[in-house]
Chains A and B, each alone.
Chain A
Amino acid sequence: EAEVAQSPRYKITEKSQAVAFWCDPISGHATLYWYRQILGQGPELLVQFQDESVVDDSQLPKDRFSAERLKGVDSTLKIQPAELGDSAMYLCASSLAGVDTEAFFGQGTRLTVV
């Protein structure tokens, strides 16, 4: 069964350091999402790609976060510098194009900033 792959699963980093997460969506899925989930809350969309183009990054803290999907396949989310408040689960998801299609989620990366 096709899955969304994310790495690493867990990451501990010190405050002010740089950190990066990687996501490989299900083959053929044009839409890719990065969500942040703070403990006890629902996922919050950080950025959404359609192929290699960003279609929504309104909630992405652009002073420290960046995301790219250069060839319209896999994607990287970077934080620099990391802050204590960035500790959360970072979830990647992908879907076929179309408003009635569901998102398929990876297992996430649990980030702890110390």
Chain B
Amino acid sequence: AQKITQTQPGMFVQEKEAVTLDCTYDTSDPSYGLFWYKQPSSGEMIFLIYQGSYDQQNATEGRYSLNFQKARKSANLVISASQLGDSAMYFCAMREGQYKLSFGAGTTVTVRA
């Protein structure tokens, strides 16, 4: 069974607007970590933001915020004030027992000027 589901293969967003990338996860472990990574066309994996399963508040890092809804098992990434440099593939990932990190299939974001 898929542990991480990203249902949006691709999205377009206008420059300076916000975009929400969906992510749902599946685990029975009470302790887990949720991560978002960015992969630009150059190919490197860039860590963006982390949310712990016991964290009471949604994580924020600059223009990135994570909308964590534990009961729904969702961890959506919000990118505010989109920039052309935000055009990339975005991956949601979950870390649980044995420290393994499982990735979703990814969402391609294209920012239009």
Partners in one complex: no
**B contacts, CB < 8 Å to A:** none
